Amino acid sequence: MPYKLLYRNPLASAEDVASWVPEGSVNVTTANSAGTTSVQLSSAGGIDDHFTLWCPEVFPSQVRITWEFSPVSEPGLAMLFFGAASVSGGGIFDEGVARRTGAYPQYHSSDIRALHVSYFRRRWPDERAFHTCNLRKSPGFHLVAQGADPLPPVADAKPGFYKVEVIKSVNEVIFKIDGLLLFRWIDDDIGKTGPVVEGGRIGFRQMAPLQARYRNLEVWELET
């Protein structure tokens, strides 16, 4: 299936996300490691001050999203929201949509519809003891797919970055890290989890106190 490039952001400096929309307490800096630069995200608040950082673009339903990720310190959790729109069919920043400040229930059980994949799940003891990647569908906090998380702890992580990939085609989601297929899910349970998630925004979410780096974000449209 061919792809058409819709959006590319090198995420090489804090200026590259200056137009992005933060929700919650987020600290954005430019990181320099091994001669390359990237965007480093962390909470600007306390242990429970989590955040989401939204890309300003709105994307169609069928997309391939790739970015590079490097954990710097843990515990914490990293997540991508995609296909985010209001349940009424408008945008997540439209008038009348409930205000969000980074607290997770505001995203999974409120008035926005989205898919969200969590990876590098190291926030709680059970997550650190058994590493998984989870795909949830909202509203409703539905856990719809799960796979093993191949990312090592920070102490054992390789120098450099891991490539993360999400492919969303109509009612199917594929998730990979460094080319390794972690899960494939088809939304064929509409009666229990609501309508198929279509187009919308993407956003990076982190749970404090995780510090992590991002670079080379690309969004491609799947051409059928």
pLDDT on residue 201: 98
C-alpha 3/C-alpha 22 separation (Å) is: 29
The number of folded domains in the chain is 1
CA atoms within 13 A on the CB side of 55: 25
* pLDDT higher than threshold 70 for residue 72: yes
Task: Report the CATH number that the domain containing residue 192 is assigned in CATH.
Answer: 2.60.120.200
- Tell me how far apart the alpha carbons of residues 163 and 153 are, in angstroms, rounded to a whole number: 16
Alpha helices in the chain (DSSP H): 105-108, 125-129, 190-193
- pLDDT band at residue 1 under the 50/70/90 scheme: low
| pTM summary value | 0.95
Rounded mean pLDDT, 115-132: 92
Percent residues over pLDDT 90 in the chain: 88
Concatenating the DSSP letter of every residue in 57-92 gives --B-SSEEEEEEEEEEE-S-EEEEEEEEEETTSS-T
20 belongs to a structural domain: no
Q: What is the mean pLDDT of the chain?
A: 95
Percent of the chain with pLDDT over 70: 98
For the segment 81-85, the average pLDDT, to the nearest whole number, is 98
Domain that holds residue 134: 3-10+55-203+215-222
Say if 194 falls within a structural domain. Answer: yes
In a domain, 210, yes or no: no
pLDDT digits (tens, 9 = 90+) for 42-66: 999 999 999 999 999 999 999 999 9
CA distance 32 to 169: 35
Instruction: Give the mean pLDDT of 1-8.
Output: 88
**Is 125 within the bounds of a domain?**
yes
Does any domain span residue 19? no
User: 198 lies in a domain?
Assistant: yes
Provide the pLDDT confidence category of residue 27 given band limits of 50, 70 and 90: very high
Residue 87 pLDDT more than 80? yes
> Quick one: average pLDDT of 6-22?
98
Reported as a single tens digit per residue, the pLDDT across 173-195 is 999 999 999 999 999 876 789 99
Read off the pLDDT of each residue in 92-99 and give the average, rounded to a whole number: 96
At residue 78, does pLDDT exceed 80?
yes
Render pLDDT for 125-162 as a digit per residue (tens, 0 to 9).
888 889 999 999 999 999 999 999 999 999 988 778 99
In a domain, 28, yes or no: no
Whether 175 maps to a domain, the answer reads: yes
